[in-house]
Amino acid sequence: MDRKHLPRRQSIKPSRALTIRDVAKAAGVSVSTVSKALNGNGQLREETRTAVRSVAERLRFRPNEMARSLPGPRTFTVGLISIDRKGRFSIPVLDGVEDALGVAGISVFLCNTANNPERERQHVHSMLAKRVDGIIVTGGRAVARPPLDLEGEDIPVVYAFARVDDPDSLCLLPDDRGAGAGVARHLVGLGRRRFAHVTGPADAEAVRDRREGFEAMLAEHGIALARERVLTGSWSEAWGHAAVERLLAPGAPLDAIFCGSDQIARGVVDALRDRGVRVPDDVAIVGFDNWEPFAEASRPPLTTIDMNLHELGRNAGMCLFARARDPAVRALADHALPDQRTKAGVLRLPCSLVIRESCGAVRAE
């Protein structure tokens, strides 16, 4: 290629380059907080963000110094393999991963394997040939997959919102069980006692975990969830409508329904309204996903679980840093996160309960 050579740029630095850790120390916050504040991403209170930025400015620290603060010619690159981007869950995970890597000035090779093993093999081969220093695999949690074939190379791999059939791999997944328990605790705390659970396909791991957590916490409060009050189906509004028909048919009293997704919850809320059942006065509803276009437009707006997928993606990046060979890269990991040096197994990250009106805890103005 007849391309001009780029001029090499070398910045003139003080004897020791300023690092993100200097900013964190000066601002009295964690490295991850500095990263979020300078990056403009992640959940952070506005005053924290402003404070960190003014410290960074005072120190004349600019985000790209983070990259420069790595010693020597920096070559750390990461391959990001997206198995399946049909689901809307991939975007926040991908953004979280990029947030962690991008702020450290680390280059990302992206590829989407579209769940095709041959395509995956090619992409991994090409990434290894490019000498990536680590690989993050995202998407496709519905089915457990075999581990990546690294062709004998020894580089760290982290699975983010993806399941793998291998005890030696590290997978980051939301704590579905804990989320189910949290919903039960919240609804019992609001005085609800007669529960139903309308959820997705019976064979999905997430369905099983959410249900188990929900049932176990109800049991702790001496409440049994009758088998016929657990309805499994598809992740759709149509299933929410159909489930209400089945639940209300026997006329049995019911004062709360935990739905396995916001789409199901939306169908349930609409079907109840059609039948003159008031939400939340007669029946409280809690959804799952905090998919805002659905949760906010529901009438009433949905109380729901947020899986904190952006944070999960960011954690995946940190886990990769923590497992890097290069000590300068390991130092980028946010040691405020306790589990990121976990070597293998499934790391379950906490979900949040987002309270709107459908559970009855707050009322519209």
Does residue 237 interact with a second copy by CB under 8 A? Answer: yes
Residue 50 lies near a second copy (rule: CB under 8 A): no
How many residues sit close enough to a second copy to count as binding (CB under 8 A)?
55
Question: Would you say 29 or 103 has its CB closer to a second copy?
Answer: 103
**130 lies in the binding site for a second copy (CB under 8 A):** yes
Q: Which stretch binds a second copy (CB under 8 A): 14-22, 50-58, 95-103, 248-256?
A: 95-103
The full DSSP string for 236-284 is: SHHHHHHHHHHHHTT-----EEEESSHHHHHHHHHHHHHTT--TTTT-E
Which of 30, 107, 234, 352 is in the footprint of a second copy by CB under 8 A?
107
3-state secondary structure of 183: helix
Residue 141 interacting with a second copy (CB under 8 A): no
Closest distance to a second copy from the beta carbon of 73 (Å)? 11
Query: Which structure tokens are listed for 326?
Result: 């290069």
Instruction: Reduce the DSSP state of residue 365 to 3 states and report it.
Output: coil
Name residues contacting a second copy, limited to 144-173 (CB under 8 A): 151, 153
> Of the candidates 202, 226, 238, 336, which one interacts with a second copy according to CB under 8 A?
238
Task: Report the distance separating Cα 81 and Cα 214, nearest Å.
Answer: 33
Alpha carbons 160 and 81: distance in angstroms, whole number? 10
The CA–CA distances, whole Å, from 30 to 43, 233, 335 equal 14, 44, 8
Q: How far apart are CA 199 and CA 233, in angstroms?
A: 6
Q: Which helix (H) or strand (E) holds 323?
A: none
Q: What gap in Å lies between CA 67 and CA 104, rounded to an integer?
A: 5
Among 133, 215, 255, 334, binds a second copy (CB under 8 A): 133
* Site stretch for a second copy (CB under 8 A), options 25-33, 121-129, 188-196, 214-222: 121-129
Name the nearest CA neighbour of 80 among 111, 121, 117.
111
Site string for a second copy, 65-94 (x = CB under 8 A): --x-------x----x----x--x-xx--x
Helix-strand-coil percent breakdown of the chain, rounded to 5? 40, 15, 45
The single-letter DSSP state of residue 351 is: P
Q: How far is the CB of 4 from a second copy (least distance, A)?
A: 7
> Applying CB under 8 A, which residues contact a second copy?
1-4, 6, 39-41, 62-64, 67, 75, 80, 85, 88, 90-91, 94-95, 98-99, 102, 105, 107-112, 114, 116, 118-119, 122-123, 126, 128-131, 133, 151, 153, 236-238, 263, 266-267, 293-294, 297, 325-326
